[in-house]
Chain A
Amino acid sequence: MITLIDGLSLGSIYALIALGYTMVYGIAKMLNFAHGDIIMVGAYAIMVTLAATVSPIAAIIAAIVICTILGILVEKLAYKPLRGASPLAVLITAIGVSYFLQGLAQLVFGSQPKPVGSAWKLPAIKAINDIGITTSAAVTLICGIIIMVALTLFIKYTKTGSAMLAVSEDRGAAILMGVNVNKIISITFAIGSALAAFAGMFYLFQIPNTEPTLGAMPGITAFTAAVIGGIGSIPGAMVGGVLLGVIEKFCLASPLAPYTVAIKFSLLIVILLVKPTGLLGKVVREKV
């Protein structure tokens, strides 16, 4: 039971990150390999703001604002000029952006892990702590659910949400409806990066240290989750993320613990062999 809650909580972190990968893939048709590093930037934003203000609320706001702006900027400066270029060129650029962000963090903050600050702490909640559930797991799980429900409602019931679905299904037809695709892509990067900021926040509750490569492992795991769920599918990213989180925690709690990482990634291979489009992925037809 406790392991399950821990797993669901870790899974919602993965799901939030996976949503960024999958939305960008669905709408901009590219793999944004720098997505994980947005989490890292969010973590440093929290550290710096905490040092300056000692206010966790200010730190949270700073992380969200900085990540959102960073996401929009990365898309405008690095990816937009490559619209229509070969997917390989875009992929290499994304890897370049990833190394750039990591290098920049190393330059500014050094390569050693740094504690995020003593103010970054959740209060004890006796009722749940007594049965073995940490406050951070509970907060992460509840906030994760709220954010995912909000995102789902946003996509389903707003005009911008419909436009996002339309662009992801058929960009040409969406343009014929008067949808400004560049604007929708920009919004998608903004939302994905804000979700990454939340993920970074929750991650720091579990491991309160920042380092330049902090985003790499959660990033690649979440990417795997997105592919398992069916890249491009929003519910797929949620399911894939939660699944990987739960499997990771159960593995860690079992004698298989040393093989956790291997098990996570072999799941990807197994699922792709059985269902190449991922759990909730659809076969897509190419259109002009």
Chain B
Amino acid sequence: MYSLTYKRADSVEEARRLFQEASDAAYLAGGHTLLPTMKQRLAAHDVLVDLTRIGSMKGISVEGDRVRIGGGMTHAEVAGSSEVQRAIPSLAALAGSIGDAQVRHRGTLGGSIANDDPAADYPAAALALAATIMTDSREIAADDFFTALYETALEESEIVTGVSFAIPETAGYAKFRNPASRYPMAGVFVARHRDGSVRVAVTGAGNEGVFRWQAAESALAGDFSANALEGLSVDPDLMMGDIHGSAEYRANLVAVMARRALANLGSAEAII
């Protein structure tokens, strides 16, 4: 790691000010993506602005048909929240399936969403649960938020303060882990919403990051069960390929994980 200055903000406003005062700042949340990158000297920032003590980014509340989770909430806090478990059990289970215990106690919802790792779990839930990403200056629909690999609609100094998820009628998540990193190689979140609409979001597999699998959504609109997906597959040309899994294999995993998610509504299944 290169030498840097660490600053801790007590409010979102202070954080944004500290960020803008520095020449090349970064926000620090759980640090579980940022710090390894900096230790390997793949990134260098002169200032880190720590967001983890900002009270307004904490908390979970159920308001009508939505669950609002603060951007500073750790994965363990979300997984352990009885509100989330009651309202969207598959979301709590997804949070509880991220990384390992250490990661879950440091990594945050805001950090995960802002980072938009193509293999992260939360983006799949955000798309499938028609989430709204709340920042310190505006609200952005999840459909417009994840723009490319590691890229989002956030402005340079904008802060994710929270995410509001629609409470579905039913939803499920299934993923196949990368044996080395244990991030998903293919994760599929399926949800049927109260208005009857169906959303299917895929993470870990697409070569442009998280995406909605529209063909599956249409197939499931009539029959929300694994049977409806029989014979349906994603185009391998649109999948990522690497040493852990070719595009063709990932395409297979997407179809299999979608069926498993439907077989495990109300929970999250992780293979490996």
Same assembly: no
Please list the residues of chain B having a beta carbon within 8 angstroms of any beta carbon in chain A.
none
Q: CB within 8 Å of B: which residues of A?
A: none
